Structure 1
């Protein structure tokens, strides 16, 4: 997963020089020629500076280059071949570096006159830097910018259904991964289940901890990233592990594999793993551009073939695979649907594909059994 800290990485600037001008030896009275000279003078009196913030999606390199070129053209600047190659190198480097660190990294492309006193007549200087932001950083802002309840007022119906079939509540250990502010953790604990709740975002963890302490619930709150190798759980300890709206933040199938392997270690024999994941519809193969954009959109998409490969040789048996929207809409109380204003479009894949028709992906409940 992404680094939790925000860092800045700055590149060397690229200077875009203006065209050379020839001097006239004789007095010129031609209006067209003189107007052109005045336009050049006007450029020296004009100043511009600004910044474009671009998601670090390497597959968008050509589109980003065209965007910058169009902007420079509007400002009366023409790139030489060397200018273009230098600009391409800078943007490529920034996109690759930012994307490697976090899908939420931004490439900031800033521009200003090469020489302030000469304005646009001196050409344009381009600078790039990468602003890195993690999932935790993004979520940390939610309590200030979004209305409660952040993820819904009720627990997931599927979670409560599976938990209700586990047997003796006082001896049943449940692991809630990506617990958030406790939408599933707290209702489970109120029923008597012992819950270990893992949460990455400090603001969510603090709120969950306060609520647990206030109600004296049997919950242990752990701050951490489930994919972090140093985050270890008790072996063969849990009867149920849940990860609701967590795998949508993953980036690679190797992370899915790592997640499943860690769950195999943590679950008892016969224990259950319930998680939601965006699956591509049959016969649809997302390309690199779709994959990268799905990460940026918190909608990481995999195919069933990739999910099967991630499960290969692990002691896991598929119990069920069903639509999250269909199940939750049918089984949640009327007043609880939809959980949030953004939920339905997101779960249908429209955060990634903003179209009126059905996108070729869907959020699915996957239930696995530890054999």
Structure 2
């Protein structure tokens, strides 16, 4: 059986995947004896023509086959029969706990009655607010499959006072705010959205992580909806504008946040709305199909008081576009605001505005209002030439100490509170000198220049902290906290966050999403299928067990090696629950031997593992160990980031790649490691290309970040990075 046939049943349901009835019953009989592959058993279950027969079979099958049966396919196959049976169970006062994904099955049926069935589930009467509760997952599956109508259904009931609907809406908004907002806007006017959220006691607070919530609203309604943000120790101004291009008729949205911190730091964040077609998702979205759905990018720069005044001047004088209310946006470049990072630029995102560009800033109402506000802050406007886009804003002379008492008072009260702040950056030793120079320039701009000896001492301390942190872990971050001392000097403290890799994985688990995806690698299944049955497998860095458990379900004996305790416990729990032949070894394989290994092995797997190595020595050591534990006909299946031919990475590139979990090797370095371990390449191909071609459609991509990471864009933010994650199938030299 080739790979395409092996995973064929895992894709969307169609007639090609249904078996003849007799063959289906034979497969099921084998499954009752504990034999058979998941995809084949699922296809057999879906091939039964009588729903009653399916129910009887499912009651007898081992739980892991039933628990993982694709619910959408089940619903699409049995439709009304499934929905009516579930409804009967509910009407009789019994909840359905069969182990298979009921919500997805109901959704897959596409039946209107599924609305009533899901809504009637007794668990919804005491709807939980924790995102990992089963009722929450059930409703989520229901809402995903009936997007606009289902959200309208829930929101309408919330508006009418239904307690379940209010709890559902509140919980879903906390877990998936962007999705909730998008569907609410598709069903309600902006005023109704506010009423719906108020009825559910949901506060539409804008957070940077959820900024698409508000941007989607602006794009959908075509109106400006500014929403102030609150943050300790700062005064914030938020401006949000939706523009429609006169030349093309498409939409753009600009979100800007201007923060004036009490410590004398100005930060301007602008989110530029790029363009890609708004996806059509049913009749209710057709009126939006000419909109451009936004892709958001942001820049943020801290600045000194002096740069703050300059930024205020340019920000005001270069603002030439007015829409409604107090919403406005700059259309010209801002000069560099600070000594950190690249110069801040405002990219023109509005085209075809015609005569609006010709309005002189000083004649524009938006500029006038801002100028008046700035004048209250002791600034004055000097209009050099109304035909030029550049004007000058200067600081007025300070009030005379012998003058108006009120002016003297205001002058004192406008002073900043004591200076304090925090600077964070990746701890890359190759950039330590540049970082030290940047930080010292910031201190000088704040009014605290370091003398020669003090400067040298600070640089030495920063170099040592960065070196130490990077040695502990490549993705270490450094932070410098500074504050004004009572004696007039500047105190500072340098710290590094050097949590071990296992600790970082542990911290990921409470998020609830899969860090590696949930489906086994197509390449791993392909090699296992070629080598035969009842193989001995060693899975190094097994993660959440997606490869180890899948191979064990196929009848193979697996040793899973994982250094993260939480992952090791998770694999062991699932293996015991399904009575699978998996032995878990909780060990850091780079530092300790694997005790109790059951080799020699037919397959050794290192999927997404070498990207965490420190250097070529780690690769040499691991490959040599695995080669020694291979069966004579065995294979090593691994991924590695390999640079393009002709590209020579410098030290900054190597450290930056390691910091982003993309440890790289040149073709020459990788070939040397293979030669040292006595291995040769049997197969080499791109991970993205192979997995995208051979994984089921629903399993690709494994995570939202995977493609950019595997194609090297996490390290090199460019269209064609000189780095790619490759699959290698290795065998021992003859």
Q: TM-score range by the shorter chain?
A: 0.7 to 0.9
- 1:165 maps to 530
Question: What is the CA–CA distance in structure 2 between the aligned matches of 1:224 and 1:175, rounded to whole Å?
Answer: 13
Confirm or deny that 1:132 pairs with 2:520: no
Candidates 648, 653, 670, aligned match of 1:285: 648
Tell me which residue corresponds to 2:687.
Answer: 324
- Find out whether 1:100 has 2:457 as its counterpart: no
Q: How far did 1:167 drift?
A: 1.9
Aligned counterpart for 1:347 among listed residues 710, 728, 732: 710
8 Å CA contact retained: 1:107, 1:128: yes
Q: How far apart are 1:233 and its partner, in Å?
A: 6.3
Tell me, what secondary structure is at the counterpart of 2:546? coil
**Is the alpha carbon distance of 1:232 and 1:258 closer, same or farther for their aligned partners in structure 2, counting shifts above 3 Å?**
farther
Q: State whether structure 2 residue 660 is matched by structure 1 residue 297.
A: yes
- Larger gyration radius, structure 1 or structure 2: 2
Contact 2:660/2:714 (CA < 8 Å) preserved in 1? yes
Superposition map of 1:51-90 within 5 A: 51-90=422-461
Query: Is residue 623 of structure 2 the alignment partner of residue 260 of structure 1?
Result: yes
Match 1:91 to one of 451, 457, 462: 462
- TM-score norm. by structure 2 comes to 0.43
Secondary structure of the corresponding residue to residue 217 of structure 1:
coil
For residues 456 and 624 of structure 2, the distance between their equivalents in structure 1, rounded to whole angstroms, comes to 44
Q: TM-score, normalised by structure 1?
A: 0.83
Aligned alpha-carbon RMSD (Å):
2.3
In structure 2, C-alpha distance between the alignment counterparts of 1:42 and 1:364, rounded to whole Å: 61
CA distance in 2, matches of 1:200, 1:222: 8
The residue that corresponds to 2:725 in the other structure is 363
- Structure 1 residue aligned with 2:560, among 172, 185, 197? 197
User: Matched residue pairs, number?
Assistant: 328
Hey, what does 2:578 align to over in structure 1? 215
Q: What's the secondary structure of 2:713's corresponding residue?
A: coil
Deviations 1:169-192 (A, max 9, x none): 2xx200011111111111100000
Q: What is the match of residue 351 of structure 2? A: none
CA distance in 2, matches of 1:233, 1:315: 25
Gaps in structure 1 of 5+ consecutive residues: 1-30
SS at match of 1:165: helix
Answer yes or no: is the 8 Å Cα contact 1:104–1:134 preserved in 2.
Answer: no
Q: How many angstroms apart in 1 are the aligned matches of 2:453 and 2:413?
A: 27
Higher RCO, 1 vs 2 (CA within 8 Å, ≥6 residues apart): 1
Does the 8 Å CA contact 2:644/2:666 hold for their aligned counterparts?
Answer: yes
Given that 2:620 and 2:676 are in contact with CA atoms closer than 8 Å, whether structure 1 keeps it comes out as: no
Considering fraction of residues, name the structure with more strand. Answer: 1
Which structure 2 residue ranges, 5 or more long, are not aligned? 1-396, 402-407
C-alpha deviations, 1:243-266, integer Å up to 9, x for none? 100000011100000010110121
Larger deviation, residues 320-329 vs 65-74: 65-74
Residue number among 639, 644, 648 corresponding to 1:276 in the alignment: 639
User: Which of 465, 482, 485 is the matching residue for 1:111?
Assistant: 482
Stretch deviating more after TM superposition (238-247 or 97-106): 97-106
* Aligned residues of 2:481 and 2:494 also touching (Cα < 8 A): yes
3-state SS in 1 of match to 2:684: strand
| 1:364/1:68 CA distance change after superposition, 3 Å | same
CA distance in 2, matches of 1:249, 1:158: 20
